[in-house]
């Protein structure tokens, strides 16, 4: 699921830009009600790396996290 940062409308992963505002869509996924994945920053043979925010600290600190999702067989 992707989301427009301007209008907050949600779109499927196949859409790259908001048809209403022309903004680049960001990946919007919430994990364990703690982490918000914002965009994929890398991908390799074993998984993907996403830029993420820890929601508990988002309003106090401006810290970004790297969240790695590894494919298991």
Q: What share of the chain is helix, strand, coil (3-state, %, to 5)?
A: 0, 45, 55
Arithmetic mean of pLDDT, 63-72: 86
pLDDT band, residue 17 (cuts 50/70/90)? very high
Q: For the segment 40-55, what is each residue's pLDDT rounded down to a tens digit? A: 889 998 988 988 888 8
Residue 19: DSSP 8-state: T
pLDDT of residue 59: 74
Which residues fall within 8 angstroms of residue 17, CB to CB, at 6 or more apart? 23, 24, 25
Arithmetic mean of pLDDT, 12-34: 85
């Amino acid at each position: 699921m992707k989301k427009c940062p301007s209008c907050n409308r949600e779109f499927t992963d196949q859409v790259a830009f908001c048809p209403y505002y022309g903004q680049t869509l960001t990946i919007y996924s919430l994990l364990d009600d703690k982490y918000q994945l914002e965009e994929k920053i890398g991908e390799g043979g074993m998984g993907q790396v996403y830029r993420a925010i820890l929601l508990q600290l988002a309003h106090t600190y401006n810290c970004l996290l790297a969240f790695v999702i590894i494919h298991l067989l």
